[in-house]
Each structure stands twice: as structure tokens, then as C-alpha cells.
Chain A
């Protein structure tokens, strides 16, 4: 197993795409953190329904806005790290490297476990770095933009930070699972983007129509929607959010729902991996 882990470590490090996707994640997250910090007061006012614009009293960012900056990684890093996951098996099947990899590590469980651990650790590292950069942005740019008492020493903010890392890791694993199951990079990438960005929002809108009103609550348990609750600062319903997209699922329930979906995908992929030809 140790040898398989070293192999996975070399595989990850020697792919340009790993570095590009990780680098772009850090840059985009930093830019988002700057944007969220600069607009912390505005977003706080919108959420609280306070008057904005000329003549209105200045609003400083609250703790929720502070936590939003620290969770900037959930905006794009999740998808980019998901791509790193897709490539874990996708590249091997696309370029035929699965053959020499399986001859060097013939026990398929060992090879798969090494990939899971390698990708998850890499994703966690990228997630932690993104949060660290967001924290630096808060320190450098955030001075005077947040209300007194708002800061890092807050329990719920710590939970959001932890949830962000978990969400990034789960996205990397769902990408890995899609690449593993489909053995086709374009198909896996398409699903990785289309499911959270298009399919789930459409389903949630459809579930909110009157005819399906009894099913409206089910929309909260759609996997990516539920997973998003991992970085929710509060479960209190935000009136500024359209009804179809409101979510009162707790971070724990949301996280467990998403984790269960990822686990099912990985188990199906693992069973097929043992049965399928290389």
C-alpha cells in the first residue's frame, strides 16, 4: 500500500493539470475573497434588509459576511478540485496508463485506495491553502470593513472553515468517482459541472411549483444542494433568497447527505473496478 501511495503522489505531482487547477483555485479564491471583503457591508445590508445607497448609514460587515470570505473556496475551488479527481482515473483510462499501473500494483483495492487518499489529501491541502489566503485577504483588506467583535474567534465561523475543507474534499472525491465509474473524461467533466450548476437548480425550481408542493422539501436533499449547507453560517431562512433556493438543512444533515451520495458513488465504482476488464 505504501508503494501505491508513493506512486499516486508521483502521479499527481507530475501532471501539469494538477498544478494548473490548484494554482487557478488559489488565484480565483483570493480574488473572490477580495471581492467579498470589499462588499461585506453591502451583502450584510442586503441580508438584513437594511437601506442601502446614497444617504443611508454605512453598514459594516457582520460575522456571516466574515465567514463568507473564509469560505470563498466553495465557489470555484470545489469544481476545479473536482477536475483533479476526475483525472485520477480518467487520465489513466484515456491514455492507457491503467495497464502499467495495474501491472505495477496488481491489487486493485490498493491502487484505488491510494488514489482516494492521494486525491483527498491534495484537495484538503488546496482547501486549507485557499482558506489561509482568504484569511490573509481579511487581514490585509478587511480592516475597518467589519463590525467590532467580528473576527476569527467565532465557533460558527470555525465550523464554516471546517465545512469548506470537507466540501472541497468531497468534490474531489465525487470527481474521482465520476471518472472511475464512467472511464471517460469528457463525460465525467460534463456531469461534474452540469449536475450542480444546471440539473439541481432546475430540479429545485420544478419541485417548487404548486403541483409538486408536497415534494418541495425534497429539493433540500439533492446532493450538491445538501453539500452546500456545509458552509452555511446559519440555517435561518434568508428572505432575500427565492423560495425555490431556500435551504434550512443543518450543516451536519447536509454534509451527511452529500457524503452518503459520494460514498455510494465510490462503492459502485469500486465494485465495478474489481469486475471490469482493465
Chain B
């Protein structure tokens, strides 16, 4: 069965699938069910290599927090450390309690770490029933989450033939079994088709809006821009940035100004004298950094220079990410110019 067939079963409005946040015990109200994740000093070493280096950050309820980093940055390792799956330094608490000490982990934290973490011949339903058992989650809830992720029609089949997208959905179903307060998802959009990604985005946003906590890693930056309210960016295991998404974009974006003038030579000299950097000269056009649009306009007007173009260009989130992690690539890709130079 193709993923497309399964998609037909996805609820059209994912927000309908998100249950209201459970009320807290006693009179504490709904806020008692909001969970703050605190990761402090996470450290993991593989031999001589430091995979995660003293990583500290918080994940707040009510928003989707994106966990970004280049390949090999240590995102998955950090998530495993948070859940006590790997040994290492540091401590992660969920409202003050480490994962291993949670009384009913599936009802507190739902995790998706690997898409294909299932036995190929055990049916999807039995896979979920097995993982639901320790938290006494009913078979009715198992069927409910299968319906929710659009796998109800293949619930009785072994996932051997599942596509990557279907496997991701099964993993997401596992994470949702206990209707948890927290979701920790490692690259959940991998293998999903556009409809699936759209559904996931809407679901996670609704989930967060209900007051719950979401930490989701991805290397799909455009997807993160649409999905995450806050970004924790790491490179080579170290924290690079921990900012709201729009602030990250403005902080790390290199604003530049495109200029075109018939007196470009004279204008370039004047701008350089005022400390600007001039790049990419091409005929009458060039790009300026270090001075903003108004300052460049003032310089040109003061010298009586005619301008044909004066436009500010703001880098996209992707460019901001590349800028932020430029020095933190674990396995940098060689460009064609590198290869030519070699």
C-alpha cells in the first residue's frame, strides 16, 4: 500500500485530534500539567570525539521548539541523553524529574527517535499494544492513535513493507499513545510527503497551542521556519543559538544592500571610506554590507551621485542557519570551487 492510500485516512483538521490539556492534580489548574524541560550540561563523548559539549537549554510549554543543527551536530545524541537512553554527562528534567524517574513516562513524554524501530512482522497494532502495556493504555487508545496518524487500514499488517513516511507515522503513534504533555521528535518529517508534512506541522502547532511542550529536530530549515516558534541551534555538539525563530533570523541574517549607480566607482570609494564592505561588483551594480539603506542613500545624495537601485536584502532562515553554523560543520561539503582549486 502506498503512502498516498494511507493519507486518505488522515484527519483533515489535525487540531481536532489534540485533546484538551489534562487538568492538574488538586487545585493547581491546567498550569500544573504544563511541562518545562531543562537540559543542563549535556555532554557525550565517543572515544576522543566530543559529540555533545556542555549543552544547556530549556524547552518551554505552549510553543514548538525546533532543534537545529547540521548533520552530525549531536541532535539525536542530545535527545537520547535527555531520555536517559545513553550514558553521559549532564541532567535533563521534566518539571524537575529526570526521565527515568517519571512515574508514568508514556503519559508524560512521547518520543520518536528512530522511524523504523519496530519488528518487521509484528503488526502495527501489536507493536503499539506492546508499548502501551507498561502504562496500562487501553486497546481503544491504540486504535485511536492509529486512526489519528492514518494507519488504521494497515493496523493488522506487519510494517515490513511500510514506506519511510508510514514508518514515521507509526513512530508518531507510539509517541502519542499516552496523550503526553511533552513530545520529543527526532526528524519526524523525514520521508513524509508534502501533505504529511503539512498535517504534522498543523498537529504539532495545535499540540503546542494546547499548552503542551514540543521539541522537534529537523534539518529541513524551511519546514522549521513554518513550524517552530523557538530555535535551539547546535553545531559540533555546542549551543550556537537559543532564540525565538524570528529573532534568530534577524540576529544571524546578514543584511546587505544592493546598489546600482552610473557613478558606481566613485560611490564604492566613498562607501569604503565610511567603513562599508563592497562585494560582487558587476558593471554598475554592487552589494554593500556594514551600512544600511538610509546611510548609503545619504552618502550618495551628499556627493550628488545618481542611484538606479537601492534595495535592502535580508537573508532567509536557511542563510541565517548556514551563517550561524558555518564554523560548526562536522563534515563540510566541498564546493565545486574547492574541487577546482584542489
Contact = CB atoms under 8 A, between A and B. Distances in A.
A277 B105 contact: no
B129 A10 contact: yes
A277 to B, nearest CB: 4
Given A95-B119, A99-B114, A100-B174, A3 B134 contact: yes
Interface of A: 3-4, 6-7, 10-11, 14-16, 91, 95-97, 99-107, 275-278
B136 A7 contact: no
Given A95-B117, A100-B131, A14 B122 contact: yes
Interface of B: 80, 83-87, 99-100, 102, 105-106, 109, 111, 113-114, 116-123, 126-127, 129-136, 171, 174
Contact of A3 (B84, B114, B121, B136): B136
A51 B116 CA distance: 64
Nearest to A103: B111
A106 B118 contact: no
B162 to A, nearest CB: 13
7 contacts: A7-B134, A95-B117, A96-B118, A103-B106, A103-B111, A104-B132, A107-B100
B117 A7 contact: no
A99 B87 contact: no
Contact of B117 (A15, A100, A276): A100
B85 A102 contact: yes
A20 B84 CA distance: 35
Given A3-B135, A104-B134, A277-B87, A10 B105 contact: no
B86 A277 contact: yes
Interface of A is mostly: helix
Contacts, number: 83
Nearest to A111: B134
A237 B6 CA distance: 68
A7 B134 CA distance: 6
Nearest to A96: B117
Given A11-B130, A97-B117, A101-B131, A106 B122 contact: no
Contacts of A4: 134
A266 B102 CA distance: 27
Contacts of A106: 83-84, 99-100, 102, 105
Contact of A10 (B113, B114, B133): B133
B326 to A, nearest CB: 30
A99 B105 CA distance: 13
Nearest to A5: B133
Contact of A7 (B114, B130, B171): B130
Contacts of A276: 87
Contacts of B171: 100
B173 to A, nearest CB: 11
A11 B133 CA distance: 10
Contact of A15 (B86, B87, B122, B133): B122
B188 to A, nearest CB: 14
Given A7-B131, A14-B130, A99 B120 contact: no
